[in-house]
Amino acid sequence: MTSSGRLVGLEAPDFRATAVVDHAFREISLRQYRGRYVVLFFYPLDFTFVCPTEITAFSDRHGDFARLGTDILAVSVDSPFSHLAWVQTERRSGGLGDIAFPLVSDLTKQIARSFHVLDEVAGTALRGLFLIDPDGVILHSTINELAVGRSVEETLRVLQAFQHVQAHPDQVCPAGWTPGARTIQPDPIASRAFFADRD
């Protein structure tokens, strides 16, 4: 399996696939989201254990992402019919219930493969997450092994940091930066003001 790190800074691979949206099948493409930020995340399989906690957590915070001009897409190698059955299963029974974003079917595994998150032996995707800017460029990626879920809060934080530096190209964000915190001017002399105040 190839590392996804080399995709950062490059245009995200486009795809066209069937997704479950509002309990119906829809054909979508990544390209149709140009002009907005996208959180694209892969998960291994429907009807598993960590996956519903991630998907419902992102769905519950969908409004926060929408306010940042950001759409969310979730992808697995399951069929659209499996996605639909999972959405039609209540959360208290391990299902998703209504969710606020598309579940994309990658039955051929070509989407996961193109993003370098396909475990070829298992035939499923690792927990890959990609932040894509309005021009379709991948700004950030993370990949987890299957046993540990991802943080919605951290995804929001990193998204806002990238939006900030794209809006302010004369600034960079230090570790743990959150909106309203100080940034650094990427200049040997100008950066001294930031570092002089550190403990």
51 is catalytic: yes
Alpha-carbon torsion, ordered 89, 91, 97, 103, to 10 deg: -90
| Strand boundaries in 43-145, DSSP class E | 70-76, 103-105, 118-119, 124-125, 127-132, 138-144
The pair of three-digit structure tokens given for residue 187, joined into one six-digit string: 């200049």
Q: How far apart are CA 152 and CA 170, in angstroms?
A: 28
The amino acid at 36: R
Angle subtended by helix axes 152-167 and 51-60, to nearest 10: 50
The pair of three-digit structure tokens given for residue 77, joined into one six-digit string: 């190698």
Of 12, 38, 51, 117, which residue is the catalytic one? 51
Angle at CA 13, nearest 5°, toward 54 and 125?
40
Active site residues: 51
